[in-house]
């Protein structure tokens, strides 16, 4: 083994001797004393330098440079080799808390290894630190939003539960040190349109703010998330990154948040340039700091020097955010000897390791949602005589990745996964067949002749990151990353209709990070699956499902409408008419829906009480039976149907869920313990209130409604409760 270079030794070694004895360097001192000592040694300019995302080194104190900007949406992002897990919306489709905890832990392990390797090489730039701006817990209220793929879906309960688990996995369980620092974003009312994000004013009702947009963030604060990121837009007239309501009254006041707040990138500039709330950069910086924003992704906080000189803010007010930021650095162990930090010695061999890829494959397989399966179609035999794979997404690595991804030396496309899985004597043909979005050239398409001679045709259609994503990333989107229409791109729809005329058995696999309205496809295809953006092992995971190695267990984290026309206006942040909780139009596929290769049956629902008083816990029990011949997993979902006498009551609300494996022919007892708070409603002023009346508790495999049962979901178990 070769010895490290002089440069690497300097980068990784201890601080210069002149600073080793300073109190802030002593790991045995209480954290508050260390922060006080270091803060007292910083000049005003140095303090302000700590408040922009790119920190310069302070050589006289032995402090290295540090860049706060990192991404870990579904793996270490934008920093070379890493395990690419399914995009967040796919992770949400697993509905599996334990699995997401393992995924987040693996991501943080790789992040640690890559950080320490970068430091040893003398690199401390963007995407190489330990502060990750993950997870995104905005509510995916409208399927047109291009960044909805980064979220855990449309429901506050599912989003909050999975987001909190992700935070715990990322930050680790050491009593003293964070593995990495997680960040809940974008606080708090932010979900498009992308083209208007720097200018619009989101105006939810007080009821919607309290009932829909805030709960997930509150759960992550309770999980001790280290950071919260503000949004670009205004919320009820105030810039989100300088909002008294959001940052002072709610986040630090009501919820007692102890971490730091970071702006979205460039959002402080938006305060004066686009929102016109202030007249200058110095005023914007001073206002943001006074309202509780500690870190500027950008450089506007450099104007705090001007703000102090002009009397807009005092140095003592600047000390407050600097103290919070230093606390995060200390908790990450950035100023301590590596041997004292338990995560500093992780092996570089874990990056994109076999174990992590196996985990990615499991997560991808559990994320796949089976939406339709005609009798005898799936699973497929591994040795069909002739198989045709078609579509623009079949061999497209973009359809594996989604946005904010890392890269892998082995990205297994859907085509490769299928080829690897089938009998070597099976005749297989692949054709791209049609473009993803732009109209195809007129003329002969040889795909249709090949389809006529094939036993099975598998078509890979849908979206990729060029069609949906963030402003500036989705280069084929005509709406800044969003979609104007949620139907399949017309060229793909036309191709599928013609393909049906020639295919004996037609299986449709949809890709993408959002709901795709395919009512015609549901009618004409023999089987339909949604594979999301499944990550580096996506091809193998899909083959596991197609050929029966894994029984599908994914459930939709979003509602799939029948058509774009069923949606309210995109930039209207009221929840009326949105998601399974408030939409009145029957969807194509309901929230929580997903089929299996086996047959589940729910027994009667037994409740611990028929009448509930405020604060009283309710216990409900049922039996989940697997009546089929295959082992499987079902996501048992518990919903409350509140008294419909309450004004603007949701049609149903998810209150808990469990993913439960059940062997073929076996039964499992399932219990939910619902706290009294679960039965409260939100009134027009945003207050939680107790509404007497009749309500129902529904436990099943999808959100309540006849549509799920009509599509093949088991009949749910229901009981009525009176709220006294």
Active-site amino acid positions: 264, 468
Q: Where is 45: in which H helix or E strand? A: helix 44-49
Give SS3 for 11: helix
Tokens standing for 166? 């992700």
- If one counts every other C-beta atom within 10 angstroms of the C-beta of residue 219, the result is 22
309 Cβ contact list (under 8 Å, min separation 6):
none
DSSP 8-state assignment for residue 595: B
CB burial of 186-199 (b: ≥16 within 10 Å; e: otherwise) equals bbbbbbbbbbbbbe
Give SS3 for 149: helix
8 Å CB contact between 475 and 523: no
Residue 505 vs residues 378, 488, 527, 539: alpha-carbon distances, Å: 11, 21, 9, 21
Residue 179 vs residues 68, 109, 112, 218: alpha-carbon distances, Å: 15, 8, 7, 22
- If one counts every other C-beta atom within 10 angstroms of the C-beta of residue 535, the result is 32
What are the backbone angles phi and psi of residue 296, rounded to the nearest 5°? -105, 115
8 Å CB contact between 410 and 354: no
8 Å CB contact between 670 and 660: yes
8 Å CB contact between 325 and 51: yes
User: CA–CA separation, 507 vs 499, rounded Å?
Assistant: 11
User: CA–CA separation, 42 vs 714, rounded Å?
Assistant: 64
What are the backbone angles phi and psi of residue 418, rounded to the nearest 5°? -70, -45
- If one counts every other C-beta atom within 10 angstroms of the C-beta of residue 30, the result is 9
């Amino acid at each position: 083994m070769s010895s490290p270079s002089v440069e690497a030794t300097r980068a990784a070694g201890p601080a210069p001797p002149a600073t080793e004895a300073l109190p802030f360097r002593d790991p045995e001192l209480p954290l508050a004393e260390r922060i006080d000592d270091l803060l007292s040694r910083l000049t005003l300019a140095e303090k302000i330098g700590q408040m922009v995302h790119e920190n310069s080194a302070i050589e006289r104190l032995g402090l290295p440079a540090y860049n706060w900007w990192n991404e870990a949406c579904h793996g270490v992002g934008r920093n070379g080799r890493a395990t690419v897990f399914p995009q967040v919306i796919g992770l949400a489709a697993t509905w599996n808390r334990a699995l997401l905890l393992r995924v987040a832990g693996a991501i943080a392990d790789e992040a640690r290894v890559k950080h320490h390797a970068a430091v040893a090489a003398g690199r401390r730039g963007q995407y190489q630190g330990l502060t990750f701006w993950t997870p995104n817990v905005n509510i995916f209220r409208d399927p047109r939003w291009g960044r909805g793929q980064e979220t855990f879906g449309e429901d506050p309960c599912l989003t909050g539960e999975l987001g909190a688990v992700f935070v715990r996995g990322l930050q680790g369980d050491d009593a003293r040190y964070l593995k990495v620092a997680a960040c809940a974003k974008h606080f708090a009312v932010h979900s498009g349109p992308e083209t208007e994000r720097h200018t619009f004013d989101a105006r939810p009702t007080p009821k919607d703010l309290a009932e829909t947009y805030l709960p997930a963030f509150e759960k992550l604060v309770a999980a001790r998330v280290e950071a919260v990121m503000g949004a670009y837009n205004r919320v009820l007239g105030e810039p989100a990154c300088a909002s008294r309501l959001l940052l002072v009254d709610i986040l630090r006041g009501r919820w007692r948040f102890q971490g730091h707040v970071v702006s979205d990138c460039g959002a402080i500039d938006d305060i004066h340039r686009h929102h016109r709330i202030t007249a200058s950069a110095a005023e914007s910086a001073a206002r943001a700091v006074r309202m509780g924003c500690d870190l500027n992704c950008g450089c506007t906080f450099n104007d705090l020097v001007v703000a102090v000189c002009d009397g807009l803010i005092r140095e003592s007010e600047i000390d407050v955010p600097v103290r919070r930021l230093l606390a995060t650095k200390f908790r990450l162990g950035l100023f301590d000897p590596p041997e004292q930090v338990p995560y500093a010695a992780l092996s570089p061999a874990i990056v994109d390791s076999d174990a992590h890829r196996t985990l990615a494959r499991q997560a991808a397989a559990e994320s796949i949602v089976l939406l339709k399966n005609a009798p005898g179609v799936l699973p497929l035999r591994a040795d069909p005589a002739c198989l045709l794979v078609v579509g623009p997404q079949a061999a497209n690595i973009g359809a594996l990745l989604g946005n904010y991804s890392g890269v892998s030396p082995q990205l297994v496309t859907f085509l490769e996964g299928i080829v690897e899985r089938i009998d070597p004597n099976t005749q297989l043909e692949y054709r791209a067949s049609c473009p993803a979005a732009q109209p195809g050239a007129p003329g002969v398409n040889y795909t249709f002749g090949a389809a006529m001679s094939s036993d099975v045709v598998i078509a890979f259609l849908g979206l990729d990151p060029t069609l949906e994503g963030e402003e500036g990333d989705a280069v084929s989107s005509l709406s800044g990353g969003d979609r104007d229409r949620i139907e399949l791109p017309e060229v793909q729809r036309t191709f599928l209709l013609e393909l049906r005329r020639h295919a004996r058995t037609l299986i449709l696999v949809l890709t993408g990070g959002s709901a795709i309205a395919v009512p015609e496809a549901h009618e004409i295809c023999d089987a339909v699956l949604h594979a999301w953006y499944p990550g580096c092992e996506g091809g193998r995971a899909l083959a596991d499902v197609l050929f029966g190695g894994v029984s599908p267990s994914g459930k939709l984290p979003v509602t799939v409408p029948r058509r774009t026309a069923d949606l309210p206006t995109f930039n209207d942040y009221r929840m009326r008419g949105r998601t399974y909780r408030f939409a009145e139009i029957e969807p194509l596929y309901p929230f929580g829906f997903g089929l299996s290769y086996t047959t589940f049956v729910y027994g009667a629902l037994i409740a611990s009480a028929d009448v509930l008083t405020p604060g009283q816990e309710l216990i409900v029990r049922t039996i989940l039976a697997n009546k089929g011949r295959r082992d499987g997993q079902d996501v048992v979902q518990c919903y409350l149907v509140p008294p419909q006498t309450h004004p603007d009551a949701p049609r149903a609300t998810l209150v808990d869920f469990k993913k439960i494996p059940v062997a073929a022919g076996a039964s499992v007892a399932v219990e939910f313990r619902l706290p009294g708070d679960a039965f409260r409603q939100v009134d027009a002023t945003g207050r939680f209130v107790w509404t007497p009346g009749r309500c129902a508790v529904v436990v099943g495999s999808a959100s309540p409604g006849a549509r799920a049962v009509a599509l093949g979901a088991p009949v749910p178990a229901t009981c009525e409760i009176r709220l006294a």
